[in-house]
Amino acid sequence: MSSTFTLDDLKRILLEGSGAPEGTGLDGDTLETDFADIGYDSLALLETAGRIEREYGIELDESVVGDATTPRAFLDAVSAHLVAQAV
Residue 32: partners with Cβ closer than 8 Å, 6 or more residues away = 70, 72
Q: What CATH code is carried by the domain that includes residue 74?
A: 1.10.1200
12: containing domain = 1-20+43-87
Convert the pLDDT of each residue in 43-70 to its tens digit: 889 999 999 999 999 999 888 888 999 9
Per residue, the 3-state secondary structure of the chain, as one string, reads CCCCCCHHHHHHHHHHHHCCCCCCCCCCCCCCCCHHHHCCCHHHHHHHHHHHHHHHCCCCCHHHHHHCCCHHHHHHHHHHHHHHHHC
31 inside domain: no
Confidence of residue 74 (pLDDT cuts 50, 70, 90): very high
13 inside domain: yes
The structural domain count of the chain equals 1
pTM given for the model:
0.84
| Residue 4 confidence (pLDDT) | 85
| Residue 22 confidence (pLDDT) | 58
Convert the pLDDT of each residue in 1-33 to its tens digit: 567 899 889 989 988 887 776 555 666 678 899
